Every structure is written in C-alpha cells, then in structure tokens.
Amino acid sequence: MSDRIQKVLASAGVASRRHIEQWIAEGRITVNGRPAEIGQKIDHNDRVRVDGKPVRLSRKTEAIRVLLYRKRVGELVTREDPEGRRTVFRKLPELESGRWIAVGRLDINTSGLLLLTNHGELARRLTHPSFEISREYAVRVLGEMTEEIAERLVNGVELDDGLAHFDTLEAGENEDGDGANQWYRVTLREGRNREVRRLFESQGLQVSRLIRVSYGPIELGRGIKTGGCREATPAELKALLKAVGLEEAVTAPEKRRPRRD
C-alpha cells in the first residue's frame, strides 16, 4: 500500500516527519529520479534517495525498536567523524530497512544512557519540549554548592539561549570526604546543548563528570557493558510509547538475536 512520503520515511527510520518535510523543501529527497513533493504517495516499489543515497523501503511496516546504549566518554553521537573518532553507530545491530536514529545527543565528554530507535516519529516526540520527557543525570561538581546557588539552579538561571533550570537537584555522596568534589542528581525536561554543564558553570561550579542515568521511564541499570547496547524489553517499549502518546503504534517485535555488547 502507498502512503504519504513523510509517514513512510519516518516509519523507515530516515528522520522525523518534520525533518523530512524540510529536506523535501530543500530538494534533498528524490522519488524515481524526480524531486519529491510533500504529501505525495509512495510505496516499496518507488526508488527513493536522500542526498543521493538510496533508502531501503520494506514491504511491511517494521516493528518499532528501541536500543539502550551505554555511551562512554570519548564517543561521538554522529554517523561519521572527519577525524576518525569513535562513534556510537559503529557496532549497532543491522536493520532490515531504515536506520537507527539517536534520541537527542550526549556530548563527547558525557557518558551514560543513549536511546536509539528505528522510528522517526518516536524520536521526534521523545526530544520535543512539548512532551516534557524528563532526563536524569548524575553529576560530579567541583566547587562549593551553597543554598543560594541551589535555589537559583532550581528557580531559573538566564543563559545565552534563555531561561533554564533543573526540575530537581539532590545532593549525593561526597567522594572526597570533606573535599571539594560532590555528586548530585539532577533532572530536567529539555535537551538544550550542554545545558547541565552550562547551568553549573553559570554559578562558578565546574562539572568533572556527567552521566545520564535515565530518559523518561527508561533507566540505564547495570546490565549493559560500556560501549554496548541491548534491546528494550516489551515493558520498557510500552512505557516509552505511552509517555509520548504512541501506544497505538506498537507492533510486537519479533524475537531478536541476543543483545550485542
């Protein structure tokens, strides 16, 4: 069956519908050798290319899949790096069609939970501010945290790109005893570039380690090796889809190969 190009390519994991519409307007997508049009109908028999590269379209609707990846410091969340540095995409399980999409980004010095999915609309909803999906981080901070600073970080701090704040800020263990390094747990509901680091730096504090420990209802846990991943369980996938109102989009995934670490 044919369907709108935005829906077909988003379901194939090419990108979100919004990005596909933008790419069509920019002339980056062709169908059977001609520039694509927003809303045109396509199916698996059509030859679709994005930036000149062919897109594999499956005859059937692919089940929504989500990977939990434990990113290490030094890895990049990008498909290709001109400097040849390690990327999170290098060893992911192969897909029958489409490609893996990273849900948000973690900078090169941040480790922890990174979600990847083959469904463009799910990726869009998980990162869009309107869905208010909470992210939790463990942060090691160098410097003195006063009550006044903690209140400002929760109430709001004006950054270069607007007002920002943590939803919660809780102190953890002080690994140096009476030393200056202190762990905190923070949560926020948006993913602006380096937002956690910039919030602390705005108060004269230095972040020496940053680990994302949860994204929405998904927790990192201990079952994944650093630089490895596993498939989301049916319960995790259901909770994730429910958080963004995509429950009806669930297609039960087939049993997959053992997780790849």
**Terminal-residue alpha carbon distance, the chain:** 37
Nearest to 57 by CA among 109, 139, 1, 114: 1
> Among 89, 122, 95, which Cα is nearest to 218's?
122
State the Cα–Cα distance between residues 220 and 101, nearest whole angstrom. Answer: 18
Residues 144 and 171: their CA atoms lie apart, in Å, by: 12
Q: Are 60 and 254 in contact (CB under 8 A)?
A: no
Nearby residues of 197 by Cβ (< 8 Å), 6 or more positions away: 207, 210
Catalytic residues: 107
Q: Which two three-digit tokens encode residue 167?
A: 């939803």
- CA dist., res. 141 & res. 182, Å (int): 5
User: CA angle, 205 as apex, 144 and 158 as ends, to 5°?
Assistant: 120
Pairing of β 168-171 and β 181-188: antiparallel
Question: Pairing between strand 206-215 and 111-117?
Answer: parallel
Structure-token pair, residue 97: 């069609």
